[in-house]
Amino acid sequence: MKASKPKICKYPKCSKEVKSDTSLFCIEHSRNIKSKSKVVTNKILPIVLGAIIYGAKDFMKKKE
């Protein structure tokens, strides 16, 4: 049985209805979160890459 109750956005203090059954957030917040995660990725990626390169260098040194 399917619940006929409309889904509400999971974002704190937001009570907007979710458009599709599969999404957790309303249109506004899903867009918001997508752009935020993009920013986070852009900030974290160089750090992660740097750490990998640094770790690889360290590994190479130990190997030699």
Judged by beta carbon, residue 11 or residue 19, the one nearer Zn ion is 11
Judged by beta carbon, residue 14 or residue 23, the one nearer Zn ion is 14
Residue closest to 12 by CA, chosen among 31, 27, 25: 25
Query: Is 29 a residue that touches Zn ion (CB under 5 A)?
Result: yes
Query: Is 18 a residue that touches Zn ion (CB under 5 A)?
Result: no
Judged by beta carbon, residue 7 or residue 11, the one nearer Zn ion is 11
What are the φ/ψ torsions at residue 8 (nearest 5 degrees)?
A: -110, 145
| Burial track 19-38 (b if 16+ CB lie within 10 A, e otherwise) | eeeeeebbeebbeeeeeeee
Residues lying near Zn ion in the complex (CB under 5 A) are found at 9, 11, 14, 16, 26, 29
